[in-house]
Amino acid sequence: MVRPTLVIRTEQLKAFQAGARAGFEEELEAALRRFWPAQCEDLDPDALRVRVRDGITAAAREGFTTRRDIYRYLNLTFFLGPGFADDERYPWARETLRDASLDSGAKLDRLGTLALTGRSE
């Protein structure tokens, strides 16, 4: 018995991906409002969405692509500020992100520790 083959057109795949991304953005927005209420207080929904999208783009540029890594990176942007990776107040951030010996999880672990201690190793 021959079964029909399911064919997904490019347009359908793009629509599915856009829907999945929008859902992820909404999850991130809710989590950020919950865990960073003071930082989100003055952001209307559109401004928070822009901040989340910018954060996702910045995370991807640094090589962070998993949901967990993107969420952790966004937390750093709320703790240290957007653009922290290039901020001269945090030279350790750029050094950590450029360290090819570290995988993404180790980079985020180090960034989190250094952000909390306020100093470099």
In a domain, 7, yes or no: no
pLDDT (0 to 100) of residue 87: 94
- Please check whether residue 3 lies inside any domain of the structure: no
**Number of domains composing the chain:** 1
Q: In terms of residue numbers, what domain contains 28?
A: 13-117
Per-residue pLDDT tens digits for 73-115:
999 999 999 999 999 999 999 999 999 999 999 999 999 999 9
| Residue 8 is assigned to a structural domain of this protein | no
Please check whether residue 22 lies inside any domain of the structure: yes
Q: Could you tell me if residue 5 is inside a domain?
A: no
**Assigned domain for 17 exists:** yes
What's the pLDDT score for residue 118?
77
What CA–CA distance (Å, rounded) separates 55 from 78? 10
The percentage of the chain sitting over the pLDDT mark of 90, rounded to a whole number, equals: 76
Q: Rounded distance, CA 80 to CA 90, Å?
A: 9
Residue 37 lies in a domain: yes
CA dist 88 and 42 (Å) reads 26
Instruction: Decide: 110 and 96 in contact? Cβ < 8 Å.
Output: yes
Asked if residue 91 is part of any domain, the answer here is yes
